[in-house]
Amino acid sequence: MRHLGIQITDQECATAFAGLDQAVAARLIADRLGGAVPTGWFDALTVVVDTALRAEVAPVPGVAALLQQLRVPFCVASNGRPEKVALTLGVCGLAPYFEGRIFTAAEVAHGKPAPDLFLLAASRMGVPPARCVVVEDSESGVVAARSAGMRVLRYAPDGSTSG
């Protein structure tokens, strides 16, 4: 966003934009710009993000062992692009744990913070929303989970509640 002339820190960016789908992020960025996001900007950002993911993403320590031990249905419900989710899980070696159980905002009318994505995931998994527990790393996801009537655990490895 700094390339667009928006003065924003990494922390401010994480707090304001983490977990949002592209349409919502585009509206927020346009508000800050006072006009539309330039054509092609998100495409260029996608290339940079995907390159960084290929080089730097790693699984949370212990998550594979945890997934191996789970005896309840589990899935991924992400606002990320389907390609980004597949790339991230693939690079981390976690894709096999979620085969056939990956849901993205591309499948619903409204991504997080709306509850649509979590309600879709619960329905496809055959679990009533009230019986679901969401592990979420963004404020928009926490809002979505609560709006869906699900319990939510906030994942904040750095101890913060933002971003």
Q: pLDDT tens digits for 3-18?
A: 888 899 888 887 888 7
Tell me how far CA of residue 13 lies from CA of 2, 10, 129, 153, in angstroms: 10, 5, 30, 22
pLDDT in tens, 28-62: 999 999 999 889 888 888 888 888 888 899 999 99
Name all domains of the chain by residue range, CATH numbers in brackets. 2-56 (no CATH), 63-154 (3.40.50.1000)
- For residues 132 and 148, what is the distance between their CA atoms, to the nearest angstrom? 10
| pTM for this entry | 0.79
For tokens 């993000």, name the residue: 49
24: closest CA among 96, 127, 117, 94? Answer: 117
Say how many C-beta atoms besides its own lie within 10 A of residue 114's C-beta: 19
